[in-house]
Structure 1
């Protein structure tokens, strides 16, 4: 069965749930776990699809938006894992937090 292009045969029915007075629906039977985040999508027929997502810090978006930077970071991690590094000495003199100097 399809509904506005959505192939419902690809989804398993795991139960029914009724919205409470605040519009909340329990999703435990569908595998929802406390703390898990979902992107919520809805089509013109009112079909709601929850897509599990992982949120990242906004400052880290630069890496996801810049493939060249991501490649440089992957190369740096690979170099570090293989021991291909250069010791530049002690940088504690540049620390601004007293705890960093310990």
Structure 2
């Protein structure tokens, strides 16, 4: 996209032209040439000029969201992974006695026993 002074819009410099596509009779557009695969998920944004921006997304389980929201947890996890990769491990024994069987407690939140 060119601005009136002939300079390319700074946002467009991040993009590589991949060709031209035509919407089918159901208003769908194929993006396979751009690297999109089946079941990929995207956030869609539309500018006032009709430009469409697709931002790749991934879903994470709610129980893992804390790692992304809390910088201290994320840093601690990073240190733990680095220590593990370096072989700095200490065997604390078997903790299986504390494990909760998800199948047995699957319906606890719904009040079903």
- Fold shared by both chains (TM-score > 0.5): yes
**Whose strand proportion is higher, 1 or 2?**
1
State the distance in 1 between where 2:92 and 2:78 align: 20
2:41 to 31, 37, 41: 37
Query: Across the two proteins, how many residue pairs are aligned to each other?
Result: 96
- 1:71 and 2:71 correspond: no
* RMSD, aligned CA: 2.5
Scaled by the length of structure 2, the TM-score of the pair is 0.66
- 1:13 and 2:17 correspond: yes
Deviation at 1:77, TM superposition (A): 1.4
Q: Which has the higher contact order (CA 8 A, sep 6+)?
A: 1
Contact 1:2 1:8 in 2 (8 A): no
State the distance in 2 between where 1:75 and 1:7 align: 36
- Show structure 1 runs of 4+ deviating over 6 A: none
Unaligned ranges ≥5, structure 1: 98-102
1:59 to 53, 58, 63: 63
State the distance in 2 between where 1:93 and 1:59 align: 21
- Where 2:20 maps in the other structure, the secondary structure is coil
